[in-house]
Amino acid sequence: MWKWTRDQYTKMAELGFFAGKRVELIRGVILEMSPVNWPHTLATVRVGEALRAAFGGTAIIIRPC
């Protein structure tokens, strides 16, 4: 199985190979991701709120795009 490098993946993205698609490079494999739906978005927001409450507003939350 072919393993893509980060540089190859970046170049392909720059050339528009993934236009309109949600893809990720994971361990050398380019995977198409499913669209984010409202339950996922709601869960992400609620987890973030819970972490901020648990850590007194000091938690850093990284929200996926």
At residue 6, the pLDDT reads 96
User: What is the mean predicted confidence (pLDDT) over 36-54?
Assistant: 85
Q: Identify the domain containing residue 3 by its residue range.
A: 1-34
Residues 19 and 48 in one domain: no
Distance of CA 53 to the CA centre of its chain: 24
Would the pLDDT of 64 be above 60?
no
And the tokens for 7? 């540089």
Residues 56 and 40 in one domain: yes
Would the pLDDT of 30 be above 90?
yes
At residue 55, the pLDDT reads 80
Residues 41 and 27 in one domain: no
Residues 27 and 40 in one domain: no
First-to-last C-alpha distance (Å) of the chain: 28
Higher pLDDT, 55 or 11: 11
The total domain count for the chain is 2
Would the pLDDT of 65 be above 50?
no
Whole-number average pLDDT of the chain: 86
